[in-house]
């Protein structure tokens, strides 16, 4: 192999050495010590090398010739910044400090105040005895208590945000204290969540980090399509879009579900919330049909059916075989009983073996009866109009009953029907004039449900 070079030019050691046969390379190594190339020559060599195809990875380095880095002098500067005095208008002239503590399980008012560094006997005495601060003793883990104190622990003011959107404010005024419940400004955010049924709806919402209020709303929305007492199957799935209310960044409470999907035994049910211009709201399918039927399947949110509709049942009290023309729902005393449909109160009071009972008259000759109640809702009276889902009474065991439960009957023109099998008429759909507004309002909510449709469900044991 020959190498072309300019006449009288000295061979470039870095290039010719690699091209020499192995014996000549050895002699060159033993007989000639190459001169160290200058920085300029090295840069020209790297530039030429970059045009030669090579196997492997080439790294390029930039070198500034004749550069001598000089040490940088470091100097530490400490400057004292005076703290200003916080003016709360409380008439305290000393320095004041804001402190904040999150309530923990097992906390008492005393333990929270101790962590807030409140050392004020007068304040402690007031908080123990004043009637206006009783809500402070309803401590909810995770919520925040804020206090302003002086350097010696004297309480200037204290704030505690409740879940109903009000805030307890205690202020030092003159020689004493003043307490008030103030309404706070809230912000609403939409939150999405999904879950899978393994044992129960409440267990699934717990695993998904949702409050019981979401579970209750979800069951209420689809109560006409899904019997949550009997129809739930392992593997059923749900997705919800709901409102979460905040005040100054602190979570207050869960709001309304605005969109929901429930997959039950392979059947998918969807609902979105829509409110008309008159403020009347309800849940509808994506094509505008009312999710709710004219009647709910059950007057209780969650319960267990203890006795079904039958023409022959051995009565546990009368000790005789008799027809059971209703459905019994076992539930604790005091459980809320809801009207299954819009109607007018036809009877409220005691009625024989039913004990305390309510009878509602609905349209088209339909009526419902609710028996063995422990009490009635406030203000319930004959001829009063009630709405579907409105609480009308509470589970008890009055009349011929061996334990706390609700006896529920459904009648058409005075003839008893099986409440679990009767065909329920649908509720009113979206009217034609509201279809454009409904389509515009429901589209972004349905998109959120689509996003969660293929979501992987995190299972927590």
Spell out where 185-236 has E strands: 187-196
- What does the DSSP 8-state code read for residue 455? P
Measured between alpha carbons, how far is 273 from 276 in angstroms, rounded to an integer? 10
Torsion of CA 184, 187, 188, 192, to 10 degrees: -110
The residues of the chain that CATH labels 3.10.450.350 are 96-183, 186-293+426-461
Task: Supply the pLDDT for residue 89.
Answer: 47
Measured between alpha carbons, how far is 272 from 195 in angstroms, rounded to an integer? 18
Using CB atoms within 10 A of its CB, is residue 125 exposed (0-12), middle (13-18) or buried (19+)?
exposed
Task: Supply the pLDDT for residue 182.
Answer: 84
Measured between alpha carbons, how far is 172 from 189 in angstroms, rounded to an integer? 35
Residue 201 Cα to chain centre, angstroms? 15
Task: Supply the pLDDT for residue 347.
Answer: 96
Task: Supply the pLDDT for residue 369.
Answer: 95
Q: Which CATH number fits domain 96-183: 3.30.70.360, 1.10.10.10, 3.30.70.20, 3.10.450.350?
A: 3.10.450.350
Q: Name the token pair of 400.
A: 């011929």
Measured between alpha carbons, how far is 99 from 148 in angstroms, rounded to an integer? 6
- Contact 242/189 with Cβ under 8 angstroms? no
Q: What's the CATH class of domain 186-293+426-461?
A: alpha beta
Q: How many residues does the chain have?
A: 461
User: Which string of b and e fits 416-444 if b means at least 16 CB within 10 Å?
Assistant: ebebbeeebeebebbeeeeeeebeeebee
Task: Supply the pLDDT for residue 166.
Answer: 85
**Would you tell me how many other CB atoms lie within 10 Å of the CB of residue 224?**
23
Spell out where 28-91 has E strands: none
In 3-state terms, what secondary structure has residue 369? strand
CATH of domain 304-417: 2.70.70.10
Backbone angles phi, psi at 366, to 5 degrees: -95, 145
Look up tokens 């008030």; give the residue.
Answer: 180
Nearest to 206 by CA among 193, 220, 190, 225: 193
- Contact 13/24 with Cβ under 8 angstroms? no
- Evaluate if pTM is beyond 0.85: no
Task: Supply the pLDDT for residue 18.
Answer: 45
Beta bridge partners of 321: 314
- Distance set, CA 76 to CA 70, 72, 73, 79, 83 (Å): 19, 13, 10, 10, 22
- Contact 131/168 with Cβ under 8 angstroms? no
Which stretches of the chain score pLDDT less than 70?
Answer: 1-72, 81-94, 302-324, 454-461
Using CB atoms within 10 A of its CB, is residue 409 exposed (0-12), middle (13-18) or buried (19+)?
buried
């Amino acid at each position: 192999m020959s190498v072309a070079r300019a006449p009288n030019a000295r061979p470039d050691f870095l290039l010719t050495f690699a091209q020499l046969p192995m014996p000549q390379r050895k002699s060159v190594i033993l007989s000639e010590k190459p001169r160290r190339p200058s920085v300029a020559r090295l840069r020209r060599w790297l530039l030429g090398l970059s045009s030669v195809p090579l196997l492997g990875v080439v790294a390029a380095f930039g070198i500034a010739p004749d550069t001598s880095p000089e040490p940088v002098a470091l100097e530490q500067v400490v400057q004292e910044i005076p703290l200003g005095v916080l003016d709360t208008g409380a008439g305290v002239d000393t320095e004041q400090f804001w402190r904040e503590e999150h309530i923990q399980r097992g906390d008492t008012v005393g333990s929270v105040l101790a962590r807030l560094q409140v050392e004020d006997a007068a304040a402690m005495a007031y908080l123990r005895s004043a009637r206006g601060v009783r809500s402070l003793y309803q401590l909810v883990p995770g919520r925040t208590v804020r206090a302003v104190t002086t350097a010696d622990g004297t309480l200037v003011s204290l704030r505690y945000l409740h879940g109903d959107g009000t805030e307890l404010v205690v202020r030092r005024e003159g020689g004493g204290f003043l307490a008030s419940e103030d309404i706070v400004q809230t912000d609403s955010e939409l939150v999405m969540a999904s879950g899978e049924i393994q044992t129960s709806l409440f267990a699934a919402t717990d695993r998904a980090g949702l409050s019981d209020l979401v579970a209750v709303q979800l069951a209420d929305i689809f109560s006409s399509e899904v019997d949550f007492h009997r129809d739930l199957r392992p593997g059923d799935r749900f997705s919800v879009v709901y409102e979460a209310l905040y005040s100054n960044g602190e979570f207050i409470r869960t709001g309304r579900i605005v969109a929901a999907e429930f997959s039950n035994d392979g059947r998918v049910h969807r609902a979105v919330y829509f409110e008309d211009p008159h403020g009347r709201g309800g849940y509808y399918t994506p094509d505008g049909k009312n999710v709710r039927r004219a009647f709910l399947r059950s007057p209780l949110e969650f319960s267990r059916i203890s006795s079904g509709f039958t023409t022959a049942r051995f009565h546990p009290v009368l000790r005789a075989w008799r027809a059971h023309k209703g459905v019994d729902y076992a539930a604790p005393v005091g459980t809320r009983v809801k009207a299954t449909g819009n109607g007018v109160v036809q009877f409220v009071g005691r009625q024989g073996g039913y004990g305390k009972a309510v009878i509602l008259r609905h349209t088209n000759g339909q009526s419902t009866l609710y028996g063995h109640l422990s009490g009635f809702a406030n203000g319930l009276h004959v001829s009063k109009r009630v709405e579907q889902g409105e609480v009308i009474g509470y589970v008890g065991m009055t009349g011929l009953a061996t334990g706390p439960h609700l006896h529920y009957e459904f009648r058409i023109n005075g003839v008893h029907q099986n409440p679990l099998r009767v065909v329920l008429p649908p509720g009113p759909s979206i009217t034609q004039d509201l279809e454009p507004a409904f389509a515009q309002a429901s589209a972004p909510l349905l998109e959120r449900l689509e996003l969660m449709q293929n979501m992987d469900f995190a299972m927590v044991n």
